[in-house]
Chains A and B, each alone.
Chain A
Amino acid sequence: MTPGDGTLRDSASAPKRGDTYSINWRLVLSVVVLQSILLVVSPPLVVFALIEVMIFALYASALNLLLSFSGMVSFGHAVYFGLGAYGLALSITHFDFPIALGIIAGPLVSAFFGLVYGILCVQLTAIYAAMLTLACAEVTFAVVFQWFDVTGGDSGISGHVPTMLGLEPYQFGLVVLCVVTVAILMLWRVVYSPLGLTIRAVGQNPARAAALGHGRKSVQLIAFVISAFFSGVAGTLFGIFHGNVFPDYVGILFTVDGLLMVVLGGLYSFGAGIYGAIVYKLLDNLAAHYFEYWQLVIGCIIVIVVLVSPSGIAGLVRRIVSRIGPRR
Chain B
Amino acid sequence: MSSPAVVFLDDAPPRRDLLGGKGYGLVRLSVAGLRVPPGFVVTTAAYRAAIPDALRRQIRYRLEGVAPDAPVGDVDRVTAEIRAGIVDATAQHDGRGAVDEAYARLSERCGTEAAVAVRSSSAAEDAADRSFAGEHDTFLWVRGAEDVQRRVRDCWASLFTTRAVHYARGLAGGAVEPAMAVVVQQMVPARSAGVFLTLNPLNGDRSKVVIESVWGLGEPLVSGQVDPDRFLVDKVTGEILRRDVVVKPTRLVTDPGSGRGTAVAAVTDADQQQPSLSDPEIGELVRLARLVERDAGRPQDGEFATEDGAAPGNVFLVQARPETAWSHRAPQPVAAGKTAMDAILGTLSGFGRGGSDPLQRGG
Q: Do these two chains interact?
A: no
Chain B residues near A (Cβ < 8 Å): none
Chain A residues near B (Cβ < 8 Å): none
